[in-house]
Amino acid sequence: MNVKERGYLEDPYKCEFKARVLNVEDAGDGRCTVRLDRTYFYPTSGGQPNDTGKIGGSTVVDVIEDGGVVKHIVEGAVEAGEEVECSIDWERRFDHMQQHTGQHVLSRVFADELSMETVGFHLGRSVSTIDLDAPSLSGEEIERVEFEANKLIWRDIPIESRLMSREEFDRLCRDDGGALLERLRSKLPPEEKTVRLVEIRGCDISTCCGTHLKATGEIGLVKLIGTEKIRESVRVEFLCGQRALCDYMGKHLVLTELSRTFSTDWQNVAQSTKRLIEENREMRKAKEEASRELARSRALKTLGEPERLGDFELFTDILEEADASSLKESAFAIREQGARIVLMGAVNPKPFVVFACSAGAPFDMGRIMKKALEDFKGRGGGGMDYAQGGGISASDVRNVIERAIEILKESV
């Protein structure tokens, strides 16, 4: 890594700077890859996304690290050799600094309070995560970490970074008898030539090349919003600073609206919602029962003249409107009244047919249903005394029933 070209390591608050364009390569689609002699743009690395902004009048859409070099992906034209005014989107940079610094604080607290080490970090577009080497995390542990992390924020502890060669770092470790290595939260890869120590003074020290705030107070607030088990570790979702505030604002708005709707304090909203769902479930059950009852009595009231089929009375009816369950109830209500066969259909909400006969009657309704549906590409089936079918067109409801009558007559 060429540390001299990376201005953000020294001053992450600098958002406007001049630089010379060393090299421009065409990247297709009206884009080019630009290298500057010195840049404050942060390239995507270490779990933190890139900065965006302007180089000259052109828009920086991405910044990458390629072979230890920072490359800016730019939309528009940039001339090699010229000196250009550059600007970084500060809102995005500051947001990343809040989330990233918040991660340092959280990782420290998880280690101190629960002896859980951070094994992964991702700064997402809306939510950031850290992965902990722990099998699980309780609600009480989450609360404890949240409190302790925010206490560190309120103390507004200064944060400093020091850039040094590997030799210098190794000497430092030797001279202090291993005290630094003992305090270091993250382990250093052996091949690393340059070391950057980031210290939350007297609290946490780690090696990191990201952009950090100058004191913990600027994180503002940290809120843990969820956990997820990922193989051997636990993933913790969190929000810092403005993201945490916006989350609070959004949730407050929803809760205020719900409190008003339920005419209760926000603390009682969850209880009121549960009660409402329970009441709704009971009412739905009562309504289903009532509509079944209605279907039965309506079916019996509007019963037409039956045809005779041996010892049995054969009733047929086609309803314009009836759902599957009320059609079934109607057929059951009719067949209970004697030695009967009932063939019923409905057109809406979807074409459907049901066949039923009195228990013990010598007919196989399931077989008749299958056979009657054959010519009309429908699907259905059932047992000896009841069968149902669908998948037919509205105009075939009558045809299926007529076909079933033919089959019944053949079998008597």
> Which parts of this chain interact with Zn ion (CB under 5 A)?
208, 210
DSSP string over 272-289: HHHHHHHHHHHHHHHHHH
Largest CA distance in the chain: 109
Q: Which is nearer to Zn ion, 124 or 362 (CB)?
A: 124
Shortest Cβ distance from residue 32 to Zn ion (Å)?
30
E strands within 166-217?
194-200, 204-207
DSSP 380: E
Residues 100, 105, 106, 110, CA torsion sign = positive
Cβ-Cβ contacts under 8 Å for 257 (sequence gap 6 or more):
none
Residue placing its CB nearer to Zn ion in the complex, 30 or 120: 120
Q: Do 17 and 93 form a contact (C-beta atoms < 8 A)?
A: no
* Closer residue to Zn ion (CB): 208 or 219: 208
Closest contact distance (angstroms) between CB of 145 and Zn ion is 18
Select 210 or 389, whichever has its Cβ closest to Zn ion.
210
Nearest distance from C-beta of residue 350 to Zn ion, angstroms: 60
- CB neighbour list of residue 128: distance below 8 Å, 6 or more residues apart: 99, 102, 103, 121, 122, 237, 238, 239, 240
Q: Which residue is at the shortest CB distance from Zn ion?
A: 208
Q: Which is nearer to Zn ion, 33 or 45 (CB)?
A: 45
- Give least dist CB 211 to Zn ion, A: 8
Query: CA nearest 331: which of 377, 285, 295?
Result: 295
Identify which of residues 159 and 373 has a Cβ nearer to Zn ion in the complex: 159
Tell me the closest approach of the beta carbon of residue 35 to Zn ion, in angstroms. Answer: 25
Q: CB neighbours of 214 closer than 8 A, spacing ≥ 6?
A: 13, 158, 159
Place of tokens 């001279």: 175
The answer to whether the Cα torsion of 149, 152, 156, 161 is positive or negative is negative
Q: CB-wise, 94 or 355, nearer to Zn ion?
A: 94
- Nearest approach in angstroms of CB 172 to Zn ion is 19
The Cα–Cα gap between 272 and 266 comes to 10
Is the Cβ of residue 9 or residue 327 nearer to Zn ion in the bound state? 9
Instruction: Find the shortest distance in angstroms from Cβ 197 to Zn ion.
Output: 11
* Residue 24 vs 208, nearer CB to Zn ion: 208
The alpha-helical segments, DSSP class H, found in 65-138 are: 90-114
CB closer to Zn ion out of 53 and 210: 210
Residue 209: CB minimum distance to Zn ion, A: 7
Q: Spell out the alpha helix ranges (H) of 161-268.
A: 166-175, 179-183, 241-262
Q: Taking the complex as a whole, how short is the minimal distance between the CB of residue 46 and Zn ion, in angstroms?
A: 7
Strand partners, 121: 130
Q: What's the min distance (Å) between Cβ of 97 and Zn ion?
A: 9
We find the least distance from the C-beta atom of residue 199 to Zn ion, in angstroms, to be: 11
Report strand pairing: 53-55 vs 83-88: antiparallel
Considering the complex, state which of residue 239 and residue 334 has its C-beta at the smaller distance from Zn ion: 239
From CA 154, how far away is CA 163, in angstroms rounded?
27
- Of 97, 79, 99, 78, residue with least CA distance to 88: 97
3-state DSSP percent of the chain in helix, strand and coil, to 5: 40, 35, 30
